[in-house]
């Protein structure tokens, strides 16, 4: 790949306030999003009726709009997803990383749930929007400490090795929604080919493995697409990249899609000759506790080895 990595640069609350003093909105993926400043009255992170998920099928007919969450950022994930992941795989005060944070949905949940967090995005306007969504006070438990960076998920130079307790992120889907146009070299949403996209995801997987503590989890929500009417399983191609980088697969969760704004969600008749895609894949990977555990897991379950080959059990 020829894209130049952008080393991480901290973007502080003061940087955000200066930006806010002269800018009323940002444009993300063709959508103009208003910055509203401090959210008064956004104190309660309690979600009425919320129950943590217990199966591998997740469906949220209402995407979630508590505190500062909104559905205006194109393609962002429902806050129910990171809330479930954070509650299941971390405890209070631990450190969560979202290396492709978008509008900061994961970070808002970390702040509400008392987890510390790092957020990174290659689009500086998205970093400012995330600051805007984090601009609220909390009540009850102490809020998590959040730091934001402008940078590339492939070069997490400000994140120490084995320092993260959970990685949770929702990457772009290979040239489906173009978030930054051509303004940002290395923007995954602007890569022309699936091959380039998968190369980038392999680099991201390698960095995620490096920064994650042994035995801890990395969760990726990814969807599929069609090209010329034929199904392209991007999700499982990405899964392969993470497993080849050294992760083992703990969970595959199917997330049902509701209220999609793309053409996939607007079809009302079977006139296209194929089924509309109405699900995404949430893969939860785990970093093995050393090479011996990885070898044991790979041999026992047919997982993909780092060089890309697979082991299998020949028993019928």
Summarize pLDDT for 112-150 with one digit per residue, the tens.
999 999 999 999 999 999 999 999 988 777 888 999 999
Find the range with the poorest average confidence among 27-31, 80-84, 236-240: 27-31
Q: What is the pLDDT of residue 306?
A: 45
Q: Where are the domains of the chain?
A: 9-36+59-223
CATH number for domain 9-36+59-223, candidates 3.40.50.12140, 3.40.720.10, 3.40.50.920, 3.40.50.150: 3.40.50.150
Say what the pLDDT of residue 263 is: 44
pLDDT greater than 60 at residue 180? no
pLDDT for residue 191: 67
**pLDDT: is 184 or 147 the higher one?**
147
The band of 316, judged by pLDDT with boundaries at 50, 70 and 90, is very low
Tell me the pLDDT band of 262, cut-offs 50, 70 and 90: very low
pLDDT digits (tens, 9 = 90+) for 23-80: 999 998 889 999 999 998 776 667 878 999 999 999 998 889 899 999 899 888 999 9
How high does pLDDT run on average in the chain? Answer: 85
* Nearest C-alpha neighbor of 176 from the set 285, 29, 310: 29
Quick one: pLDDT at residue 48? 79
pLDDT at 181 over 90: no
Per-residue pLDDT, averaged over 229-248, amounts to 94
- Local confidence band at 173 (pLDDT 50, 70, 90 cut-offs): confident
Are the C-beta atoms of 257 and 276 separated by less than 8 Å?
Answer: no
Can you give the pLDDT at residue 16?
98
Position 238 confidence tier, pLDDT thresholds 50, 70, 90: very high
Reply yes or no on whether the pLDDT at 310 is more than 50. no
pLDDT at 212 over 50: yes
Q: What pLDDT, on the 0 to 100 scale, is given for residue 178?
A: 54
Between strands 212-222 and 279-286, the pairing is antiparallel
Look at residue 271 and tell me whether its pLDDT is greater than 70: no
pLDDT top residue among 86 and 291: 86
What's the pLDDT at 257? 87
Would you state the pLDDT for residue 272?
67
């Amino acid at each position: 790949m020829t894209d130049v990595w952008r080393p991480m640069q901290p973007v502080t609350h003061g940087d955000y306030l200066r930006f806010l003093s002269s800018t009323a909105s940002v444009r993300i993926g063709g959508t103009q999003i208003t910055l509203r400043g401090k959210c008064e009255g956004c104190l309660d992170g309690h979600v009425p009726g919320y129950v943590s998920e217990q199966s591998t099928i997740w469906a949220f007919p209402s995407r979630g709009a508590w505190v500062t969450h909104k559905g205006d950022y194109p393609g962002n994930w429902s806050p129910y997803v990171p809330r479930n992941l954070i509650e299941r795989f971390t405890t209070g005060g631990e450190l969560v990383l979202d290396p492709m944070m978008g509008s900061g949905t994961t970070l808002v949940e970390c702040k509400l749930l008392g987890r510390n967090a790092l957020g990174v995005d290659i689009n500086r306007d998205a970093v400012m929007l995330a600051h805007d969504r984090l601009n609220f006070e909390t009540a009850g438990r102490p809020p998590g400490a959040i730091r934001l960076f402008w940078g590339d998920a492939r070069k997490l130079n400000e994140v120490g090795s084995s320092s993260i307790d959970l990685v949770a992120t929702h990457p772009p889907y290979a040239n489906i929604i173009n978030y930054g146009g051509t303004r940002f070299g290395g923007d995954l949403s602007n890569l022309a080919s699936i091959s380039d996209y998968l190369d980038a995801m392999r680099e991201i997987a390698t960095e995620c493995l490096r920064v994650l503590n042994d035995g801890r989890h990395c969760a990726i929500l990814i969807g599929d697409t069609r090209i010329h009417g034929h199904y392209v399983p991007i999700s499982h191609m990405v899964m392969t990249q993470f497993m080849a980088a050294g992760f083992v697969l703990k969970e595959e969760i199917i997330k049902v899609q509701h209220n999609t704004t793309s053409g996939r969600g607007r079809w009302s008749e079977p006139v296209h000759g194929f089924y509309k895609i109405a699900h995404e894949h949430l893969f939860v990977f785990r970093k093995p506790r050393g090479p011996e555990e990885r070898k044991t897991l790979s041999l026992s379950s047919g997982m993909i080895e780092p060089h890309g080959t697979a082991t299998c059990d020949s028993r019928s």
